[in-house]
Structure 1
Amino acid sequence: MFFLQVDEEISLKLIEKRDAQLLFQLTEYSRDHLRNWLGWVDYSRTLKDTKNFIKLALQKYADHTDLVTLIWYRGIPAGSLALYDIKWNNFSGNIGYWLGKDFEGKGVMTRSCNAMVEYAFGTLGLNRLELKAALDNKRSRSVAERLGFRQEGELRQAEWLYDHFVDVAVYGMVAGDWPEK
């Protein structure tokens, strides 16, 4: 089972079936907040939907293509951070994340992503990571920029958010650019 202690306040733990109720409650509590930027929120309406997501995430973990973690902040679930769509033949993967509405502005995501990037480059030996965020999602984009990801482009109308398309910024980093190396 994957577990990573980020610092004295934060840890990342592989999402498990027993986390379903906690994850669903966090999603439900932050639903309107998350819906501003995440297209999956309306597809996660019930505890059963969350359980199905966890089942799929665990299968992808077993297949070595995804690592979906629950972010624990001061002993309570704060959000999720994933290293996903790992392409071992290209030594590449993607980073995706979200935080519950009460956990923003505390550095939780930047510290968590810093640890995940270090794990991806240092432990897994990946060479390239990508991160995508809606152009207008300043908080998400600032996490990428604080970590040293470079904006490599913009994808026009790349995501459908319920009733409109949004443009997406694409960020990338290669292992040689990682400041921890």
Structure 2
Amino acid sequence: MDQHNMEIHELFLRQFTANQAAIRAYVRRLVPTRHDAADVMQGIALVLWKKFSELAEQDDFRKWSFGVARYETLAWLRDKGRDRLILSNEVLNIVADESAKIESHLSSQREALESCLEKLPSEQRSWILVAYTPDSHIQEVAEQSGKTVSAFYQWLHRIRMRLLECTRRTLQTEGML
């Protein structure tokens, strides 16, 4: 790969990785499951890479990638619509429009929550992350933590309330609330 192509590749990777979580969250709001979102994201990544040279302004990457994500998701849903019951295109377009409108706020919330999670002591942060891992079972997590299920739920509730308050304070400080 020559120097110019490497620079383009690096620029794409920087832009894509900076926006990947937001794109995934957008797609996740439109498709039924996380696995479906992962399937759609693979297609989106390919299309974004193939068409990256068509992007006129690098500052428009986020907006452009959401447009690609919308069309790729709608195409995926159309194809899957033959297999199972899904929402009509009109409803999906409304959901896609609303999701795009609120994405910057949701992105700010995610960033604030991540910052608040980082402020937790490492052991607490680890248990929170384990508890919210897909396919985890609270009974098993409680047992591993040395707490009863009831005590673990109470602890989890207290930590969630601390994270919620921290997230609100962070967003207020940044003028997002």
TM-score surpassing 0.5?
A: no
More strand by share: 1
Structure number with greater Rg is: 2
TM-score (norm 1): 0.28
More helix as a share of residues: 2
TM-score by length of 2: 0.28
